[in-house]
Amino acid sequence: MRLVKADEMKRLDREAIEILGIPGIVLMENAARGVSEVIYRNVSGTSAVIVCGKGNNGGDGLAVARNLYNLGYDVEVVITAEIDELKGDARTNAEILSKLPVPVHVVKEENRLVEVYSLLKEADFVVDAIFGTGLSKPAEGFYASLIEIINKGAKKIVSVDIPSGLSSDTGEVIGPHISADLTVTFAFPKVAHVMPPACYYVGELFVVDISIPEDIPFLLGPQRFMLTLDEVAFTLPEREVMSHKYTYGHVAVIGGSKGKTGAPSMAAEAALRAGGGLSTLIVPESLNPTFETKLTEVMTVPIRDGSKGYFGIDAVDEVLKVIENGKFSAVVIGPGLGSEPETYEFAREVLKSVELPVVVDADGLNALAGSTEILKLKEQEVVITPHVGEFSRLTGLSKEEILKAPFEHAVEFANRHGVTVVLKSGRTVVATPDGKSYVNIIGNPGMATAGTGDVLSGIIGAMLGMGIDGEDSAKFSVFLHSLSGDLAAGELTEEGMKACDLIDFLPKAIKTLKEAERNHRRSKWAFVTELKEIIGV
């Protein structure tokens, strides 16, 4: 599902009104009915206070008040403007409501907020319809105080479109804001609904179809999506009776150095668990006994290292010859490679010359700092998997800059270098050379442990090895990796899980995905979808 910003949503509304001819008052009514339906099904109690601002979000709130009144709720409205100050569809809904026996309290001064607090304490829940998605600066003065009063006085808060005080365009918290129990948004989720820390204040998220057709965003953009079952379904190829191990690819993992034999081992094992046909580790010769002892299904190819315990520049030709003659279909370079200067030079030279789809991870990425032009020369699929620190070294941007605009920075790098970027964090972003981006919102903090990135690089390598393109390989692997993490946490706890557990849970994750593909259910509501239903697992 698409993920939009305020100006993009405004354009979608305008297209629906001006091109399709859907009146704005119809869009507002559809929104209000969706909010009312969510309340009816999910919020206990029958007395409500609806707090409305003077814009269209307030108009939505006024229509919600009418719908709840029609459903038999005891409703009172607080509005922060005189009725004659309202405009357009908000004014229309205020005039309709004025003909019903619904008390409307106009509150514009801070000295009247004690009245609002009294109303809130008596109500079962409050509907927050103060600011919509267009807010871009912090709430101040009266509105900051109103937000504080609602947070303190309400038993339960339902926010219309977005908790008031948050900016829809970013995960940043820009100032005082509502902390909602439920948020009901319209047409598409907004960036703040899923990106931390703003998403922590959204509560349970619902998306209402307000009659903006799905194909309108294709005309306008944006090319920003949430990773869902719909995005990754049926990526894995069907297994055929007469297939053999080479049908499903042969992944070469180039890595390992003294003290870092675990990382390439996990990547190579993950490639097999994710469905790869064969997996081979290309390692420094002096470390090979460790790998031979550690691994069973994974093969190894030792490369002469002069007993150094890491790759040097003199190993380049031998490694390239192994790759050329090894019937490989994809390469993963970087896990546990080490940070010796000549190892970085080795990594750059191998990457320049290898003519297979490649995943660059960990020290392979650090080797590219200051040399990212190498990526532009690659004709084959390249997927890079930096965490925020590694991406900072690649781009020269600070971590703060990256986290403030992860979609934009990941897309810019992907486009400029012709690669697929997997920008790893608590909300991993996948960006493609043609400008699309996807954010993954499953997974859990238990995955913040050593080695989980190595597991992910192995899964991506397996997908590339099967002949799946870079975009689909990255999307599917990120989703599968996080699903495996969620399944592991469910049995082992977030605190008790480690990276190898993700490898062990990959079969169960694949099974879960396949069952979800077969049994994909429609939402239980015709026009409202819960976030979990959108994700699909």
Token look-up 């031998």 returns: 318
| Dihedral sign of CA atoms 439, 445, 447, 449 in order | positive
Token look-up 């190819």 returns: 301
Strand partners of residue 185? 207
Q: Quick one: average pLDDT of 432-455? A: 97
Locate 527 and state its tokens.
């026009």
Model confidence at 284, pLDDT cuts 50, 70, 90, reads: very high
Instruction: Indicate the pTM of the whole model.
Output: 0.95
Give the per-residue pLDDT at 316: 98
* Residue 256 scores a pLDDT above 80: yes
Query: What pLDDT digit, counting tens, does each position of 218-241 carry?
Result: 666 679 999 999 999 999 999 999
The whole-angstrom separation of Cα 449 and Cα 100 is: 58
Model confidence at 403, pLDDT cuts 50, 70, 90, reads: very high
* For helices 6-18 and 24-42, angle between their N-to-C axes, nearest 10 degrees: 120
Strand partners of residue 303? 284
Model confidence at 361, pLDDT cuts 50, 70, 90, reads: very high
Query: What pLDDT digit, counting tens, does each position of 239-249 carry?
Result: 999 999 999 99
Burial, 137: exposed, middle or buried (Cβ in 10 Å; 0-12, 13-18, 19+)? exposed
Average pLDDT, the chain: 96
- Do the beta carbons of residue 79 and residue 105 sit within 8 Å? yes
- Do the beta carbons of residue 213 and residue 233 sit within 8 Å? no
| Dihedral sign of CA atoms 85, 89, 90, 94 in order | positive
Burial, 297: exposed, middle or buried (Cβ in 10 Å; 0-12, 13-18, 19+)? exposed
Q: Quick one: average pLDDT of 416-437? A: 97
Model confidence at 19, pLDDT cuts 50, 70, 90, reads: confident
- Do the beta carbons of residue 363 and residue 353 sit within 8 Å? no
* For helices 406-417 and 388-395, angle between their N-to-C axes, nearest 10 degrees: 50
Model confidence at 213, pLDDT cuts 50, 70, 90, reads: confident
- Do the beta carbons of residue 74 and residue 45 sit within 8 Å? no
Name, in order, each residue with C-beta under 8 angstroms of 47's C-beta and a sequence gap of 6 or more: 73, 74, 75, 122, 123, 124, 125
Give the per-residue pLDDT at 219: 64
Give the per-residue pLDDT at 221: 66
Percentage of the residues of the chain whose pLDDT score is greater than 90 = 94
Which of 365, 358, 370, 439 is CA-nearest to residue 406?
439
Domains parsed from the chain with CATH numbers? 6-221 (3.40.50.10260), 248-518 (3.40.1190.20)
Q: Quick one: average pLDDT of 318-337? A: 97
Give the per-residue pLDDT at 217: 66
Q: List strands edge to edge, sheet with 104-106.
A: 104-106, 74-79, 47-52, 125-129, 157-160, 182-186, 204-208, 528-530
Model confidence at 364, pLDDT cuts 50, 70, 90, reads: very high
Centroid of chain to Cα 84: 42
Model confidence at 353, pLDDT cuts 50, 70, 90, reads: very high
